[in-house]
Amino acid sequence: MIVIGHFPYLECSSRGDKRFSAFYAKVDGKSIEETYQAAKIFENGVTGLSWRDAKGKKALNMSQVAKLYKDLWRRYLLDHPSYLKVLKEASGLSDIFGQEGHMCQAVTLWELRNEMEIK
């Protein structure tokens, strides 16, 4: 579990507020999780894997897919400005499934919460 900010935490996962779950948040008709995992390129050159096949595996292009992950969340928030307001009002975010060293929606959303302006 990863927490950031201060209690009480807004749970950003499929077990909490699904609007902030990478499995439920969609950009261009696909979930953020699907798009992020499919963008990974592995040592054998394989890419385009399903989220189940790619999840938890380190890719050769981790810095690029990390940027993509954040960009997808940014686009999602731009498409849903009221969700940014929810994040700005939260004192902290958590992800029950979050693990150190892996992409975490709570951490990414916290960064965007602090970078983006409500329009």
* pLDDT average, residue stretch 70-93: 97
Cβ atoms of 17 and 11 closer than 8 Å: yes
**pLDDT beyond 80 at 14:** yes
pLDDT tens-digit profile of 24-37? 999 999 999 999 99
Omega cis (within 30) before 81: no
Q: Rounded CA gap, 88 and 45, in Å?
A: 40
The model carries a pTM of 0.93
Q: Work out how many domains the chain is built from and give that number.
A: 1
Predicted confidence at residue 36, as pLDDT, reads 96
Predicted confidence at residue 118, as pLDDT, reads 84
Q: What is the largest CA-CA distance in the chain?
A: 44
Predicted confidence at residue 119, as pLDDT, reads 74
| Residue 71 token pair | 């960009």
**pLDDT beyond 80 at 86:** yes
Q: Which domain holds residue 17?
A: 2-115
Predicted confidence at residue 57, as pLDDT, reads 85
Predicted confidence at residue 58, as pLDDT, reads 85
